[in-house]
Amino acid sequence: MGFFSGLADRFSGIIRLGTRTSADPAMVGGNTAGERVDDDTVLALSTAWACVNLVAGTIATLPVMVYRPVPGGRVVASDHWLYRILHDNPNADQTEVDFWEYMCVSLELRGNGYAEKLRGSAGQIVGLDPIPPGIVSCRRREDGVLEYRWTWNGESRRETSDNVLHIRGFGGDALGGVSPLAIGANTFGHAQALNRMSGSVFRNAMMPSGVYQTATKLTPEQTKEIEDRLAKKYQGAANAGRPMVVGFDLKWHQLTMSPDDLEMLDSRNFSVEEICRIYGVPPHMVGHTAGNTQLGSSITEQTRGFSMFTLRRRVKRIEAALRKQLLTPRDIAEGIIIEINLEGLLRGAPAERSAFYNAGLQNGWFTINEVRALENMPPVEGGDVPRMQMQNMPITMTAAPATISATAPAQ
């Protein structure tokens, strides 16, 4: 009876209010290549691994900051209860990098990142514990509240949005983001099929640099002897390129790569670009350097575009979810802000970081002590006063305009 009542409850939610399950079943045959598409098989593709690793790892290493407004600006609210959780210590088991990398990988694979809000004895949030996205389903109840269900380690849970942090990926609604695994199933399945095909070729095929042929008819015994020798000495990738010497009246013929093999290699290159296109990653950033000057753009411009378009929109999506779901009404009234500091990307680029600081110091929107704080250096006396170069003065403060002499220069 419990089974049917639960089934009816599930169907009624779908009909009236909608239910989305991010626990996508293994999509066996759910693509034109007939390959299994899930977290493990997709990450087994080197391009997908590199793209997910790059995006998730980069965002995870950016500092999540909490700011409090002050007259004339804002300061880091290091004393705020959220600062410790988001910036330093989200839970008892993970560092901040571990936690955010897990959440970002969940977004890149499943389109949703979930974490349970751990609460103290007084009901305050004291930590965030990530939930595997593949086991979570979300529905909107009749009272309008979002409800999350999952079973983990033999324990079934049912929590509302008050106790679950839900970061939605691209194209989602209130119930969740779009799953890249489902949308890209054909692309991932095609790449897996090509890998399987090439593996089979290297495992079973003979790949000599040439063959010997004879115009005379061979006896069955001679044929079997040739076949045995070939299978023993010339089959497999380790023997690729070895000429065949079989001891008969044979003529040498050079072999070249067949058109089918060339087409397979081109298809594998194309699958790399397809996966990069899904994740918005320039191919050169995952080690694919063929044809990386499309539309006249340089490698530097493509890398800058990755930061501006691929990373920024993901960062803004995470920031918005944190502000909406973690800040209390009092925090909002006080103007508390949560931001992921993209300036952390400059830490690996000394020249660009130096130019950025120099421009801020010369134009007065950085002070010496602010720059020193960003570089983890102690403040200096007088370093809190903004400065500008003397020539940057209003036009009205300049002297009378100089006259132009029409006298010819002395010879």
Taking 50 as the pLDDT cut, the residues of the chain under it are 1-17, 22-23, 25-29, 259, 262, 295-296, 404
So what's the pLDDT on residue 210? 63
pLDDT at 363: 78
User: What pLDDT score does 280 carry?
Assistant: 87
In angstroms, the CA 111 to CA 178 distance is 5
d(CA 292, CA 282): 8
316: which residues sit within 8 A by CB, 6+ positions away?
Answer: none
pTM: 0.69
Extended strands (E) in 291-397: 337-340
Max intra-chain CA distance, the chain: 112
pLDDT of residue 49: 93
> Identity (one letter) of the amino acid at 285?
M
**Cα three-residue angle 4-6-9, rounded to 5 degrees:** 110
| Rounded Cα gap, residues 110 and 101, in angstroms | 14
What digits encode the pLDDT tens for the residues 353-387? 777 788 888 877 788 888 887 776 778 888 888 77
Domain ranges of the chain: 16-204+267-340, 209-254, 349-396
DSSP 8-class letter at 287: T
